């Protein structure tokens, strides 16, 4: 009767408090510069060392500039946060991949690509998009600063056990439709609170057919519908992706791990607290029109009518007013100002391949400022090894240095007030990309189409 989630969770239970939380063992703690300083300070004040320092990996990503990383960071707050993480990692004897380190990048990109994230693990980080790692068949979720300190001190965490939900997407995605579109479609249908209290397992033909990088994108956005996390059962694609990775098991350890990983799937008679079904053929390229990721629609559709109930009507109208849109209008053809390719959602090599496939033989529109930011130095190297940088350069684009970049306004890559940005990131809240900025979430293909046309364009028309 066990679900995939149950199997991993149960294997990590240290003890359970009657009618209270579970003490859960954590296999991997990822630390970045934003949510860790207070946790380290708490450890110092209590005179504690990290219980299992080899299980903790630190790297800056939110505050890092995407140009001139070899020079001191100009913004004082950002520089202080990045330097503080380096000092804390050194003081506590932790793995640290700092700026310009070949293993640096966005923590949720580096973890899987280096084999630090493995099937069957429990993984936490002081960042909501830790759900990304669930694509490898792990139980991964974001935690608060006090919980980061708890894991540092004990390698355990107190957690209430979430309910389970399975989202089945059957059938095959259409041409020009990606994992990002799948995720935005699900969030639009379920709403941003539709999975609150649940840990989601994605299943069905369309999910199995996704590449590992597509699965990482899908799980990344789980948090945007309120889920505690998202996960996908590991399969031959997962094993092939991990084989030979730097931190993955080797030799006999690999064979042993593989035998265990193959047991990590929900049983045929597994019972979920909730099941949902979608048809992949109903999904077209998606774009958001509002100020939360649930306010999304197919790119050919019209913005929905204003809801009738008072509370929903006010927030819906406020959102449209902020975006400068009206109910009933189409977004196709609307001019935009910025295009951002990157983030822990879409900063991987496949995302750059998808973007390049649209812009190849075309040129960036004059009205567009484009930021193309790899999720890690490894991704940047692969872009160059495959010659994608040349295709992009010929089309008028340049590749920046790795980091979270314009996903959130914590570094120099900010969208100016009132400007529209088609962004491959995960959140479109008011001011998320800069005070007064207006964000339209979309896939790499849709971002590329906007970049060469200067306006919102159905990427299928350019394929």
Q: What is the pLDDT of residues 357-393, one digit of tens each?
A: 999 999 999 999 999 999 999 999 999 999 999 999 9
Count the alpha carbons within 13 Å of 143 in the hemisphere toward its beta carbon.
Answer: 28
Output the six-digit token pair for 127: 């960042």
pLDDT one-digit tens code per residue, 90-112: 999 999 999 999 999 999 999 99
Which fold, 4-274?
Answer: Aconitase; domain 3 (3.30.499)
How far apart are alpha carbons 122 and 330 in whole angstroms?
Answer: 43
Tell me the average pLDDT across 181-198.
97
- Find the length of the chain: 463
Give how far Cα 186 sits from Cα of 72, 194, 212, 327, 427, Å: 42, 10, 19, 21, 15
- Please say if the pLDDT value at position 426 is more than 70: yes
Burial 71-96 (b: 16+ CB within 10 A, else e): eebeeeebeebbbbbbebbeebebeb
Burial 183-195 (b: 16+ CB within 10 A, else e): bbbbbbbbebebb
How far apart are alpha carbons 130 and 163 in whole angstroms?
Answer: 18
pLDDT of residue 1: 65
150 within 8 A of 158, measured Cβ to Cβ: yes
How far apart are alpha carbons 423 and 80 in whole angstroms?
Answer: 28
How far apart are alpha carbons 439 and 427 in whole angstroms?
Answer: 8
Strand partners, 140: 123
Cα–chain-centroid distance for residue 302?
A: 27
DSSP annotation of 28: E
Quote the mean pLDDT of the chain: 97
pLDDT one-digit tens code per residue, 445-455: 999 999 999 99
How far apart are alpha carbons 357 and 391 in whole angstroms?
Answer: 9
pLDDT of residue 311: 85
What's the longest Cα–Cα distance across the chain?
64
Q: What percent of the chain has pLDDT over 70?
A: 100
pLDDT one-digit tens code per residue, 30-61: 999 999 999 999 999 999 999 999 999 999 99
pLDDT one-digit tens code per residue, 129-138: 999 999 999 9
Number of Cβ within 10 Å of residue 143's Cβ equals 22
Q: What percent of the chain has pLDDT over 90?
A: 99
Q: In sequence order, what are the residues at sequence separation of 6 or more whose Cβ sits closer than 8 angstroms to the Cβ of residue 250?
A: none
How far apart are alpha carbons 142 and 28 in whole angstroms?
Answer: 12
Q: Where does the pLDDT of residue 234 fall: very low under 50, low under 70, confident under 90, or very high at 90 and above?
A: very high
How far apart are alpha carbons 43 and 54 in whole angstroms?
Answer: 17
Number of Cβ within 10 Å of residue 273's Cβ equals 13
Q: Which residue has the tokens 């031959």?
A: 236
pLDDT one-digit tens code per residue, 328-345: 999 999 999 999 999 999
Q: In sequence order, what are the residues at sequence separation of 6 or more whose Cβ sits closer than 8 angstroms to the Cβ of residue 391?
A: 356, 359, 360
> How is domain 286-462 classified at the architecture level of CATH?
2-Layer Sandwich (3.30)
Domain chopping of the chain, boundaries = 4-274, 286-462
How far apart are alpha carbons 96 and 57 in whole angstroms?
Answer: 6
Tell me the average pLDDT across 70-92.
97
- Please say if the pLDDT value at position 411 is more than 70: yes
Judge whether 4-274 and 286-462 match in fold: yes
Q: Where does the pLDDT of residue 212 fall: very low under 50, low under 70, confident under 90, or very high at 90 and above?
A: very high
pTM of the model: 0.98
Q: Where are the alpha helices (DSSP H) in 155-263?
A: 179-190, 205-208, 212-220, 236-242, 251-261
DSSP annotation of 282: G
């Amino acid at each position: 009767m066990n679900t995939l989630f149950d199997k991993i969770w149960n294997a990590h239970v240290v003890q359970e408090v009657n009618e209270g939380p579970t003490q859960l063992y954590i296999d991997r703690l990822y630390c970045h510069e934003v949510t860790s300083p207070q946790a380290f300070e708490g450890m110092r004040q209590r005179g504690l060392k990290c219980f299992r320092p080899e299980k903790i990996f630190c790297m800056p990503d939110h505050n890092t500039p995407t140009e001139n990383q070899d020079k001191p960071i100009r913004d004082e707050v950002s520089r202080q946060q990045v330097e503080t993480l380096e000092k804390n990692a050194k003081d506590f004897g932790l793995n640290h991949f700092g700026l310009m380190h070949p293993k640096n990048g966005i923590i949720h990109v580096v973890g899987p690509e280096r084999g630090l994230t493995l099937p069957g693990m429990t993984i936490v980080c002081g960042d909501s998009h830790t759900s990304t790692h669930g694509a490898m068949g792990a139980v991964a979720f974001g935690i608060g600063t006090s919980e980061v300190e708890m894991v540092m001190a004990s390698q355990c965490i107190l957690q209430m056990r979430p309910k389970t939900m399975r989202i089945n997407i059957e059938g095959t995605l259409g041409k020009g439709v990606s994992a990002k579109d799948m995720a935005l479609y699900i969030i639009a249908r379920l709403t941003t609170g539709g999975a609150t209290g649940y840990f989601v397992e994605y299943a069905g033909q369309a999910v199995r057919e996704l590449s590992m990088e597509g699965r990482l994108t899908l799980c990344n956005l789980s948090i945007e519908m309120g889920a505690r996390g998202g996960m996908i059962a590991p399969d031959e694609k997962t094993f092939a992706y991990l084989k030979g990775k730097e931190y993955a098991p080797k030799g006999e350890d690999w064979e042993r791990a593989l035998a265990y990983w193959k047991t990590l799937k929900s049983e045929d008679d597994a019972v979920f607290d909730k099941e949902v079904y979608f048809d992949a053929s109903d999904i077209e390229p998606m774009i958001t029109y509002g100020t939360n990721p649930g306010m999304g629609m197919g790119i050919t559709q019209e913005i929905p009518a204003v809801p009738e109930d008072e509370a929903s009507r006010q927030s819906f109208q406020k959102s449209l007013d902020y975006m400068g849109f009206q109910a009933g209008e189409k977004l196709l053809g609307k001019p935009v100002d910025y295009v951002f390719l990157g983030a822990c959602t879409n900063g991987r090599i496949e995302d750059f391949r998808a973007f390049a496939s649209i812009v190849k033989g075309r040129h960036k529109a004059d009205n567009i400022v484009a930021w193309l930011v790899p999720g890690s130095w490894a991704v940047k190297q692969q872009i160059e090894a495959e010659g994608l940088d040349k295709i992009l350069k010929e089309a008028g684009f340049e590749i920046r240095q790795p980091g979270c970049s314009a996903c959130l306004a914590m570094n120099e890559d900010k969208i100016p007030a009132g400007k529209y940005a088609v962004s491959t990131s995960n959140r479109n809240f008011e001011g998320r990309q800069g005070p007064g900025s207006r964000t339209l979430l979309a896939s790499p293909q849709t971002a590329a189409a906007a970049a060469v046309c200067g306006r919102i364009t159905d990427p299928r028309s350019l394929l």
